[in-house]
Amino acid sequence: MSKSSNLKIRDRTFEWGKRTYLMGILNVTPDSFSDGGDFYSTAAAVDQARALQAAGADIIDLGGQSTRPGAKQITVTEELDRVLPVLQSIRPEIAVPISIDTTRTEVAKAAIQAGADIINDISAGTFEPEMLPAVAKLGVPIILMHIRGNPQTMQSMTVYQNLMQEISSFLSERIAAAVAAGIDPDKIIIDPGIGFAKNYEQNLEILRCLSQLRPLNCPILVGPSRKSFLGHILNQPDPKARIWGTAAACCAAIMQGADILRVHDVPQMRDACLVADAIWRRF
């Protein structure tokens, strides 16, 4: 398997290595770390989906369960009640692929049925063993992320002997599990999980050493947007004021081989990506 295998979703073809793709974040939660409550109503979420697409998002990532450190776990019913009305409202008018940010098999199935195209599972299919076989049956791409523990416990699980080696080993094992479950290898995307069971220094190490994940031969997604390690560097407690710190992290990720960046601020990151791509992409 080679990362050069293009991925076609709807009428979009993702040509890995040619340019950086942007995944715009659409959190329909009251408690996400930087935009909790901003798009909690269906009307606000629809407006934001339109804005993300107009700004140049290549994928819209819809999530109903906050995964910030310490986030409270909601019921499956609550998660469905948050995401399905939004998905049903935006799908008819949003042309770009939509991913559903969930660890729940039931939510994944319902979302794909309602028009979503990709499963973005922060647990890489470890929270629910039924997830990988379900995704195989659905025939859709999946994003597998590195995590330890869960959002309630992960920040107490940041001791590693060799950070990048352990991330790579975990993702390699999850790729193998996904393929064994019947998922097409060309439909697997990996994410090192910045901020998930990682401390400040470890998040920086991921950005410095991201290229060490290239031998896994999967497109790499990175999500540094507005995160607390940037606030630490910038002495900026307001996540919404970390745009340019995010842009710097995104450029570093591109230089190290990132294929997709998961971001809140699509217009600004699109500019950063265009310049970084012009400098570092080899055609």
Predicted confidence (pLDDT) per residue in 180-212, tens digit: 999 999 999 999 999 999 999 999 999 999 999
Identify which of 281, 94, 256, 120 has the alpha carbon closest to the alpha carbon of residue 187. 120
Host H or E run for residue 176:
helix 163-180
* pLDDT recorded at residue 150: 84
Active-site residue, selected from the candidate residues 3, 82, 227, 242: 227
Does residue 227 carry a catalytic annotation?
A: yes
Give the N- to C-terminal CA distance of the chain in Å, as an integer: 21
R_g of the chain computed on alpha carbons: 17
Does residue 262 carry a catalytic annotation?
A: yes
Starting at the edge strand found earlier in the chain, the sheet holding 118-121 runs 188-191, 142-145, 118-121, 98-101, 59-63, 21-27, 260-263, 221-222
> Is the distance from CB of 181 to CB of 132 less than 8 angstroms?
yes
Evaluate if residue 152 carries a pLDDT over 70.
yes
Evaluate if residue 40 carries a pLDDT over 90.
no
182 CB neighbour count, 10 Å cutoff: 12
For 23-27, 111-115, 124-128, 279-283, which range has the lowest pLDDT when averaged over its residues?
A: 279-283
* pLDDT recorded at residue 205: 98
Kindly give the pairing relationship between strand 142-145 and strand 118-121: parallel
Name the band, by pLDDT with cuts 50, 70 and 90, for residue 4. low
Average pLDDT, the chain: 92
Q: Which domains does the chain have, with CATH numbers?
A: 18-280 (3.20.20.20)
Of the CA atoms within 13 Å of residue 122, those in its CB half-sphere come to 22
pLDDT average, residue stretch 68-91: 88
Q: Which residue has the higher pLDDT, 137 or 4?
A: 137
pTM here? Answer: 0.94
Evaluate if residue 283 carries a pLDDT over 70.
no
Report the amino acid identity of residue 100: I
Kindly give the pairing relationship between strand 7-9 and strand 118-121: unpaired
